[in-house]
Amino acid sequence: MRLLEYEAKNLLSACGMPIPRGKVFAVNELQAIAAPIVLKSQVPIGGRGKLGGVQIVRHQSDLESVARKMFNLKIKGFLPSKLLAEEILDISREFYFSLNINRQTAGIELLAHTSGGVEIESQDTADFFRRDIVNEKFEALADELADYLDIADKTFLLQDIIENAYRCFIDNDCLLLEINPLILTKDSKLIAGDAKITVDDAAAFRHLDWRFEDNSTEHNFIILNRDGAVATIANGAGLAMTTVDAVTASGLKPANFLDIGGTATSDKVLDCFRQITTLDNIKVIIINIFGGIVRCDDIARAIIDAQRQIPNLPKLAIRLSGNRESEARQLLAQYNLPLFDSLEAILEDIS
């Protein structure tokens, strides 16, 4: 489950992470907001800044018109029901900081870069700071990170950032915790300027207090390796992780983690294919679905639609098992798309 920015920041703040002063509001609560302010569209998608989803409003006379335009601005198919109004920070530098699950080591990996913000995805993967967090040795890790970011005098602040982020990651069963940018202000504070968190919905039974907004049209899509040649689609975080781990164990490089959830529709699956095609090096897409609530024939129709609608779709390796599997097999056979009986058979075929 991908959280909205304000939800992610609430989790971070509860674990001691500094965040900007702000207020989330609906369109009928505009009168409570005062400029100067930064307005941020609360949609579960990246790239808002380039699409008009982040606006600085310096004068009160401009606030209502700008906010109303943002409430009516659809971003990649999502229309916000809320905006986040935050203080304007006096920025000295912007960094990238994230925690994710390293599938190869089965540990939590810290990833950082000296240049945060909207252009982070254009950075060379070899230039990133990468370390697994081992035995919670935060002090040594903070020393290394401070040297990498060239802010040696902020080591103690960085140690707090790492410890608080790690606690948030563990306590909330996160799959991804990203702060981009992590802002160094001109008065020498480190603040989470923006935040993205994906939590494991399968762990919801441990978190009865979770009251996140319903972003069910969004998928748990995480880029693991932009140089990876194998993309994966699965339903349920457990099966998605198993699929990624199996690809890695076979000696191949998985490019992504993608959990379509337990109630995926044909349209949602088609959108998954579109997301995957934004990655440049994909040679094969593994579709590994167990049909329970999800119907295999619905997935099959989405696969057929993807072949029709998406030019140059990579090779597809498909396993559909469970609810309406035989109907799915018949549909796919009409388009010369065979089903594999197991994930192992897929990996043997593509290795």
Q: Which of 6, 7, 96, 163 is catalytic?
A: 96
Rounded Cα–Cα distance for residues 223 and 109 (Å):
14
Q: Is the distance from CB of 199 to CB of 1 less than 8 angstroms? A: yes
Q: Which of 5, 86, 163, 178 is catalytic?
A: 178
Q: Is the distance from CB of 305 to CB of 313 less than 8 angstroms? A: no
Q: Is 178 a catalytic residue?
A: yes
Q: How far apart are the first and last CA of the chain?
A: 31
What is the β-pairing status of strands 107-113 and 129-132?
Answer: antiparallel
Classified as helix, coil or strand, 315 is strand
**Which 8-state DSSP code applies to residue 292?**
S
**Which 8-state DSSP code applies to residue 254?**
B
Classified as helix, coil or strand, 307 is helix
Rounded Cα–Cα distance for residues 241 and 339 (Å):
21
Q: Is the distance from CB of 133 to CB of 166 less than 8 angstroms? A: yes
Rounded Cα–Cα distance for residues 213 and 229 (Å):
34
Q: Is 7 a catalytic residue?
A: no
* Residue among 118, 53, 60 nearest 83 (CA): 53
Q: Which residue has the tokens 């971003």?
A: 75
Provide the phi-psi class of 86: left if phi over 0, else alpha when psi is between -120 and 50, else beta. Answer: beta
Q: What ranges in the chain are assigned the alpha helix state H?
A: 5-14, 60-71, 138-149, 155-171, 237-249, 266-276, 296-309, 325-333, 343-350
- Catalytically active residues are 96, 178
